[in-house]
Amino acid sequence: MDFKSLVSHCKEYGFIFQSSELYDGLAAVYDYGPNGVELKNNIKAYWWQSMTQMHDNIVGIDSSIFMHPKVWKASGHVDAFNDPLIDNKDSNKRYRADVLIEDYCAKIEGKIKKDVTKAAKKFGESFDEEQFRSTNGRIIDRQKKIDDILGRMGNYLRDEDMVSLKALIEECEIACPVSGTKNWTECRQFNLMFSTQLGNIAGEEGKLYLRPETAQGIFVNFLNVQKTSRKKVPFGIAQIGKAFRNEIVARQFIFRMREFEQMEMQFFVRPGTEMEWYEQWKATRMNWHKALGTPESKLRFHDHDNLAHYANAAVDIEYEFPFGFKELEGIHSRTDFDLKQHQELSGRKVQYFDPELNENYVPYVVETSIGCDRMFLAMISNALQEETLTNAEGVESTRIVMKLPPAIAPMKAAILPLLKNDEALVKAAKDLFGEMKKHTKVTYDEKDAIGRRYRRQDAVGTPFCITIDHQTLEDGTVTVRDRDSLEQVRLSTKEAKNKVLLETQLATLL
């Protein structure tokens, strides 16, 4: 399904609405509707349980969005949390300079892919993509060009060399997609933190920031948590919460928002062991994604070309969104940078006494950081499909179906009386609904013909439809329709209930 249809499906079926739509919306801010909030809560529950329930050495916290302003000085966000910005003078549109360059490279990559697809068609089964890429002259040149441009861009970003960054845009002859001109302003750094003001303190002193990441709430609570939970290094602290970034370019729906939610886990380890843990967390996190049934071909690791000021190793887990492979999650070896900085700026010791080594040290940190909203988008774009069905008479029809893992789906089952005018059927269906809703999320629907009701449930990903018909009144059995296989089985109401509970629980993923 194309991206535009996905966005309208999300609105039509109550997954995502633009914020303040009545007032024509607020750019890059979105609200989750009735189905959306259920799906999002299920994603969070899966992450939370994977972290805090499946690991006895990880505990959770919920820290505040507002923090002491010095936190952001210590973390480096006040001085260095910038994106390079550039304006087109004719369209007055604003862009991230690095994104313009990346998009330019993605176009070249697109050309490479076209050549590969063509060749694959031509050579058929015997086609060896790797060999083709490494021997085809045109592809080699194009790949070299991409590597050169991205390599230089990385250096300029690291050195904050805005003049060379602009020169690179000019060298690539990148034009504004809106005006079509190359009439650019200078490139300059733009800090992504939103700020606000405390009511009782005037001026700089009272300046507060909305947190741009949840991680710092974990770092400043390191000692509180370690002492009260009596955890020994290595151990982790997990948190889910809102983060805010004044993104320059707000595009691609909920992929890049100004207000979003992060699921972060900081794992504190002995200095010198961080690389082992980094490798371990890379594998653990990739398995977490695979357990959802996401095809392996849609997931890949991407090592960071230039490391952030705090990291000694960093990798992204990228997902193939409808607009290409993009970062879904980051895994970073953050060294002892943050804890040391907080130690310095607070003037307090932030150290751990290791009873086995009999020494004090500032632990090293390996973090896993994933955007809940990006995960939501990845899930929806993988699950939402338009399917052609052929019935017993050979007649074709199409259906829109959201093949979400049952444990993540907003509703676990729909209870449907075959006819809404038949009191006995309605009563039996409502009785079952009343019983099942105590155990899990179910929905009741009696409007329209049964086929249309099935389609409605398919469109929001409900894994099971339980239909109550006249036979139910005779022998207490119901039909259970499977969303994906479309198979219908007759079971007793008790069996149907147990099947739904068993097959939709989070344990199927953990």
Contacting residues toward ligand ATP, per CB under 6 A: 213, 245, 247, 256-257, 260, 262, 327-330, 369-371, 373-374
Residue closer to ligand ATP by CB (options 314, 425) is: 314
Contacts 24+ apart (CB under 8 A), 169-176: 169/86, 169/97, 169/100, 169/101, 172/101, 172/104, 174/100, 174/101, 174/104, 176/88, 176/90, 176/91, 176/93, 176/95
Nearest partner of 166 among 216, 119, 96, judged by Cα: 96
Question: What's the order of all strands across the beta sheet hosting 442-444?
Answer: 442-444, 413-417, 464-468, 477-482, 488-492
- Smallest gap from residue 28 Cβ to ligand ATP (A): 8
- Smallest gap from residue 263 Cβ to ligand ATP (A): 9
- Smallest gap from residue 258 Cβ to ligand ATP (A): 7
At position 67, the amino acid (one-letter code) is M
Residue closer to ligand ATP by CB (options 59, 249) is: 249
- Smallest gap from residue 72 Cβ to ligand ATP (A): 14
Residue closer to ligand ATP by CB (options 243, 418) is: 243
CB 382 within 8 A of CB 111: no
- Smallest gap from residue 250 Cβ to ligand ATP (A): 8
Numbers of helices and strands, H then E, in the chain:
17, 23
Residue closer to ligand ATP by CB (options 30, 433) is: 30
- Smallest gap from residue 314 Cβ to ligand ATP (A): 8
Cβ-based neighbours of 195, under 8 Å, separated by 6 or more: 207, 208, 209, 210
End-to-end CA separation in angstroms for the chain: 29
Q: Considering Cα of 284, then 286, then 287, then 289, what sign does the dihedral take?
A: positive
- Smallest gap from residue 283 Cβ to ligand ATP (A): 18
Number of CB atoms found within 10 A of residue 408's CB: 26
Nearest partner of 322 among 379, 401, 245, judged by Cα: 379
Cα separations in angstroms, 408 against 38, 377, 435: 8, 13, 21
Rounded-to-integer distance, Cα 433 and Cα 115, Å: 55
Tokens of residue 91, six digits: 């369209």
Residue closer to ligand ATP by CB (options 75, 493) is: 75
- Smallest gap from residue 59 Cβ to ligand ATP (A): 21
Query: Measured at the alpha carbon of residue 74, what is the angle toward residues 69 and 79, in degrees to the nearest 5?
Result: 85
Residue closer to ligand ATP by CB (options 234, 371) is: 371
Q: Classify residue 138 as left (phi > 0), alpha (psi -120 to 50) or beta.
A: alpha
Residue closer to ligand ATP by CB (options 375, 480) is: 375
Rounded-to-integer distance, Cα 406 and Cα 508, Å: 9
CB 382 within 8 A of CB 404: no
- Smallest gap from residue 148 Cβ to ligand ATP (A): 21
CB 472 within 8 A of CB 438: no
Residue closer to ligand ATP by CB (options 373, 458) is: 373
- Smallest gap from residue 254 Cβ to ligand ATP (A): 7
Residue closer to ligand ATP by CB (options 317, 418) is: 317
Residue closest to ligand ATP when measured from CB atoms: 371
Residue closer to ligand ATP by CB (options 371, 410) is: 371
Indicate the SS3 state at residue 158: helix
Phi, psi of 493, rounded to the nearest 5 degrees = -60, -35
Residue closer to ligand ATP by CB (options 318, 422) is: 318
Is it true that the peptide bond before 234 is cis, omega within 30 degrees of 0? yes
CA 443 to chain centre: 27
- Smallest gap from residue 438 Cβ to ligand ATP (A): 35
Residue closer to ligand ATP by CB (options 330, 417) is: 330
- Smallest gap from residue 245 Cβ to ligand ATP (A): 5
